[in-house]
Amino acid sequence: MVNFDYQTPTRLIFGKGVVEEKLCSVMEQYGKRVLITYGGGSIKRIGLYEQVIRLLEGKEIYELPGIEPNPKFNPSVLEGVRICKENNIDVILSVGGGSVLDCTKAIAGAACSDADPWDVVTMKVPTLKAIPIVDIITLAATGSEYDSGGVISRTETNDKLAYFSKLVFPAVSFIDPVYTFSLPVKQTLAGIADCINHIMEQYFCGEHIMMNDAFMEGAIKSLMKNVRIILKDPQNYEARAEIFYATTLGCNGIYSLGNSDSGWPMHAIEHALSGYYDITHGEGLAIVTPRWMKHILNDNTIERFVSFGTGVFGIDPSLPEREIAEKAIAAIYDFYKEIGIPMTLGEVGIDDSRIDEMAHHIAVNEGLENAWAPLYEDDIAAILRDCL
């Protein structure tokens, strides 16, 4: 078991009606000047925007709307930094999905620095201070509500980079599963795939302990069971709630304390796909997952496949190891196909024209030669070609 040093300062307030019950008192702990960040309008359609404005009566409110999926440095981060600096914002309230919250984290850090905001986001200069963040998360997917990272895209360079600082952990996250009733099926499914992949990135690693295996296998089984329930009954609160609990823990590290780091290879590959083509993150991950598994399966890695296949899919442990591994790869592919996720790059509008360019970009920027299952440029290109 590897050493760990773990602290999460975020207060989670989870359940039906928690925003109405506690948003006012939580926001009282911060100053008067509030920046509300949000996306393209979903929070208005579900009545959440109106609810928040009512609950913040008496505050001086500023707004940054229009944050896009795969949030963009320009204009969203830059515009948010400008608003915060010009108006001496005390607290940022992020209302929406992971993209809104990720963008908010970048704003919160960059607004407290005199450095170029891009240097803060790329961590060339350290984040020494950040504006406190409160969020109401409306999409069960990224786990951004319980982690200290954000992923920001810069369109002109095709970069999609992770920004981390302990100072941008949300102070308080409100998680009401009812807000996810309105999610389009596509986003619900992408969120499930994102979370399953977060867990797999932590499961497929070198050093690991039995307790974490059981925790992660249980979470994936819960996600698989509950997504089938909500596909038939989108307003099933218990299923939505269990999914949101699993996704909230996804990127926080808590699933794998004591495990060694895998290098998160599938995320490294997917971030290039969504950086170059602006596709939905969870869909990109679902497409990459079985191809990455197939590519890295060998005598050194097979133990993880056997454990995963028997633990998650109930594959007969008495079968030969190779057969279990191959059945596990087929099972994850079939599950995504069954629930309706596109499973080829062609289906999300990506052809072979930029495969080599993306493989090079990933190889240069992501350090996957040091991953648990090392990947070089040729490996990455082969995985991407297999996804076509």
Contact 152, 73 (CB under 8 A): yes
149 binds, among ligand NZQ, Zn ion, none (CB under 5 to 8 A by kind): ligand NZQ
Stretch that binds Zn ion, among 79-87, 191-199, 354-362, 367-375 (CB under 5 A): 191-199
User: How far apart are alpha carbons 257 and 212 in whole angstroms?
Assistant: 8
CA–CA dist 59, 52 (Å, integer): 11
Contacting range for Zn ion; rule: CB under 5 A; set: 92-100, 186-194, 351-359, 380-388: 186-194
Nearer to ligand NZQ, 160 or 306 (CB): 160
Nearer to Zn ion, 159 or 194 (CB): 194
Q: Which two tokens stand for residue 305?
A: 């496949």
Give the nearer residue to ligand NZQ in terms of CB position, either 144 or 310.
144
At closest approach, how far in Å is the CB of 190 from Zn ion?
Answer: 10
Residue closer to ligand NZQ, measured from CB, 141 or 312: 141
Q: What is the DSSP string of 147-194?
A: SSEEEEEEGGGTEEEEEE-GGGS-SEEEE-GGGGGG--HHHHHHHHHH
Q: Which is nearer to ligand NZQ, 37 or 212 (CB)?
A: 37
By the criterion CB under 6 A, which residues form the site for ligand NZQ? 39-43, 46, 69-70, 96-100, 102, 138-139, 141-144, 147, 149-151, 179-180, 182-183, 187, 191, 194, 251, 267, 274, 281
Judged by CB under 5 A, how many residues of this single chain contact Zn ion? 1
Q: Which does 170 bind (CB under 5 to 8 A by kind): ligand NZQ, Zn ion, none?
A: none
Give the three-class secondary structure for 36: strand
217 in contact with Zn ion (CB under 5 A): no
Exposed e or buried b per residue across 94-118, where buried means at least 16 C-beta atoms within 10 angstroms of its C-beta: bbbbbbbbbbbbbbbbbbbbeeebb
User: CA 80 to CA 95: how far, in whole Å?
Assistant: 14
Strand order in the sheet with 133-137: 11-14, 172-175, 133-137, 91-96, 33-38, 60-64
Choice from 79, 194, 326, 366 touching Zn ion (CB under 5 A): 194
Q: Look up residue 37 and give its amino acid.
A: T
> Considering the complex, what minimum distance in angstroms separates the CB of residue 320 from ligand NZQ?
34
Q: Where do contacts with Zn ion occur on this chain (CB under 5 A)?
A: 194
